[in-house]
Chains A and B, each alone.
Chain A
Amino acid sequence: KNQVEQSPQSLIILEGKNCTLQCNYTVSPFSNLRWYKQDTGRGPVSLTIMTFSENTKSNGRYTATLDADTKQSSLHITASQLSDSASYICVVSDRGSTLGRLYFGRGTQLTVWP
């Protein structure tokens, strides 16, 4: 069964600190993995996308890693800001169907305190 598991479920950090969010998946055949940021009551916005051949990608203070062998990904946030408070969702796409199905994790709820 294709699944995406994220940890931790929630995380509280102080402003300026770094944090790392984890994503494990069993989706096969794998196409790409995305990290989305979802503010409360809004739609998800893409942060990074990685294909099978990529193992790291940065977008400003966000750095994502991918280990396709162990089927694990992480999202590292440096120098956190209050505006980073949101749900971070790991989304894995397969290439085994015409739909290019997206499999969503439940997200990690990050709260940044001043």
Chain B
Amino acid sequence: EADIYQTPRYLVIGTGKKITLECSQTMGHDKMYWYQQDPGMELHLIHYSYGVNSTEKGDLSSESTVSRIRTEHFPLTLESARPSHTSQYLCASSEFDRGGGTEAFFGQGTRLTVV
């Protein structure tokens, strides 16, 4: 089983609150990702990082922000949560592989509900 952890698993908060979703991996991977997934839909990349102090926005526009101060830690922050942010957030990590592809290991996800 992959050593990548997300907390909390479930979160229900009120509109306007600031929240941080935590993601940590112990595999020493340089690449880390945040995906957003609505029920029955595909995963959409919202943020990624190549390493410490590297962060980029993904394909899906998101009002969230991320930081990468340490290799193992890639938290995602919503400054002011809204009901439209209700979704499942999945964190993943990978190492650079010589074959040109990417092996991604996923965390268990955080199910966020904004009321």
A→B interface (CB under 8 Å): 4, 31-32, 36, 41-46, 49, 51, 89, 91, 93, 95, 98-102, 104-107, 109
Extra A-B contacts (14), CB below 8 Å, given A43-B106, A43-B108, A100-B94: A31-B100, A32-B101, A46-B103, A49-B103, A51-B99, A51-B101, A89-B43, A93-B102, A101-B102, A102-B45, A104-B42, A104-B43, A106-B42, A107-B42
Q: Which of B37-92 contact A (CB under 8 A)?
A: 40-43, 45, 48, 50, 88, 90, 92
A-B contact pairs, 26 of them (CB 8 A): A31-B100, A32-B99, A41-B88, A42-B109, A43-B90, A43-B92, A43-B107, A45-B106, A46-B105, A51-B99, A89-B42, A93-B102, A99-B48, A99-B102, A100-B97, A100-B102, A101-B45, A101-B102, A102-B45, A102-B102, A104-B42, A106-B40, A106-B41, A106-B42, A107-B40, A107-B42
